[in-house]
Structure 1
Amino acid sequence: MRMGPAFVVISFLLFAFAAKPLPRVSAASAPETVLDVAGKILRTGTDYNILPAMRGGGGGITFACTGHKSCPVDVLQDDYEQSDGLPLKFIPANSKKGVVRLSTDLNIKFSGPASCSPSAVWKVENYDDLTGQMFISTSGVEGNPGPETLDNWFKIERDIGIYVDSEGFRRLALSDVPFKVMFKKF
């Protein structure tokens, strides 16, 4: 069953890539494709904005330096509701078909450079003892699936949330409370 445009309001569940070969599946059992707000299939290598599905809680996904660090930059939701955020690309581990599918391993990266960070690829950071969170930042490695790049692989699923830190930054973090999003072609 394909998701209709009204239900492209999926959220992210950032699960690290399991360091096992991906099972081969037939086209009939392939995971469902992810659709954008126009009902079109998300394509690999194409720029998209990630926007909140519900209005009233901020804008699109962007990055910034938070806290007392300057690099890598953190992935966060723009405070300004009218902002579409920055364009991103989705790079699946298996990009032969050129489409983005639900529950498949992929890199997510900002289309432009991520400020001071050598990479614009998303990465799950180590557990933060102060906040009790695992935040998403840039500085990941594109491609190269395996144990050494475990923190750079994500799946479009259902459980990533927003953590508002002490400075008011709306940072993406692993969460049990999903942040429902939709994808808009840039």
Structure 2
Amino acid sequence: MKTLLLLLLFSTVSLSLGQPSPDPVRDIDGNLLRSSSKYYILPVFRGRGGGVTLAPTRNESCPLDVVQENFELENGLPLTFTPVDPKKGVIRESTDLNIIFSASSICIQSNVWMIEEYDGQLIVSAHGMSGSPGQETLSNWFKIEKYEDDYKLVFCPTVCDFCKPVCGDIGVTISENGIRRLAISDVPFKVMFKKA
């Protein structure tokens, strides 16, 4: 019995050690995305707006939400990616991370991306909390996933073992006044990353 137990334990450890790391995410120059660097998130398809930035999208000036620039020549604001394990320097596909704008704003907010419900949609806002993976910060964790030959942003956190979040691709929804707000959508926002 002891031999069988040891064999099962050894098999389990061997399987967990043998799993390869997810592929690293690369910028438009083919370089690895690193947590210590700043990047712009840009659309793959030009002519459909520019990079991502912060803007008021509600009936008040604060909080600021994550939107896409209307003009394709605008890169938006630089941001950083912080993986769930902050000691990891390389950003990898399909792993939980915080996305944080590296800019100050008129609003007193963290600039950490988060999902919240507003006006019947699950939108991307920027007043979340960085780090502390778990149930309390569930709405603050995103992933970068391979999408065709490029990437897409996804909300489907795995930082809480017993939580069941609503998962979905991050897309662009255009409001009546032309604001290109990022939100959970059936149509993914196909993106690439440019070092700032």
Provide the TM-score with structure 1 as the length reference.
0.81
- In 2, the alpha carbon distance for the partners of 1:26 and 1:180 equals 33
* Cα distance, 1:127 vs structure 2: 5.0
Q: Residue 174 of structure 1 is aligned with which of 164, 178, 184?
A: 184
Q: Residue 124 of structure 2 is aligned with which of 136, 153, 158?
A: 136
- In 2, the alpha carbon distance for the partners of 1:26 and 1:85 equals 40
Query: Which structure: larger Rg?
Result: 2
The SS at the match of 2:143 is: coil
- In 2, the alpha carbon distance for the partners of 1:90 and 1:125 equals 19
- In 1, the alpha carbon distance for the partners of 2:24 and 2:71 equals 30
The SS at the match of 2:138 is: helix
The SS at the match of 1:149 is: helix
Instruction: Flag the 1:89–1:25 CA change in 2: closer, same or farther, 3 A.
Output: farther
The answer (yes or no) to whether the contact 1:77–1:85 under 8 Å persists in 2 is yes
- In 2, the alpha carbon distance for the partners of 1:100 and 1:27 equals 20
- In 2, the alpha carbon distance for the partners of 1:69 and 1:26 equals 51
Report which of the two has the higher share of strand. Answer: 2
Q: Residue 40 of structure 1 is aligned with which of 31, 34, 51?
A: 31
User: What are the residue-to-residue correspondences of 1:151-162 with 2, within 5 Å?
Assistant: 151-157=139-145, 158=152, 159-162=169-172
The SS at the match of 2:122 is: coil
- In 2, the alpha carbon distance for the partners of 1:63 and 1:80 equals 14
* Structure 2 stretches lacking a partner, 5+ long: 1-14, 146-151, 153-168
Answer yes or no: is 1:49 the counterpart of 2:37: no
Equivalent residue number for residue 126 of structure 1 = 117
The SS at the match of 1:135 is: strand
* Cα distance, 1:184 vs structure 2: 0.1
Amino acid at match of 2:28: V
Equivalent residue number for residue 16 of structure 1 = none
The answer (yes or no) to whether the contact 1:73–1:115 under 8 Å persists in 2 is no
Q: Residue 72 of structure 1 is aligned with which of 59, 63, 77?
A: 63
Equivalent residue number for residue 89 of structure 1 = 80
- In 2, the alpha carbon distance for the partners of 1:106 and 1:26 equals 22
Deviation string 1:36-87 (CA, Å, 9 cap, x unpaired) is 0000000002100000011110100001011302221010000011011100
Amino acid at match of 1:151: S
Report which of the two has the higher share of helix. Answer: 2
- In 1, the alpha carbon distance for the partners of 2:93 and 2:182 equals 19
Instruction: Flag the 1:87–1:117 CA change in 2: closer, same or farther, 3 A.
Output: same
Instruction: Flag the 1:33–1:74 CA change in 2: closer, same or farther, 3 A.
Output: same
* Cα distance, 1:126 vs structure 2: 1.8
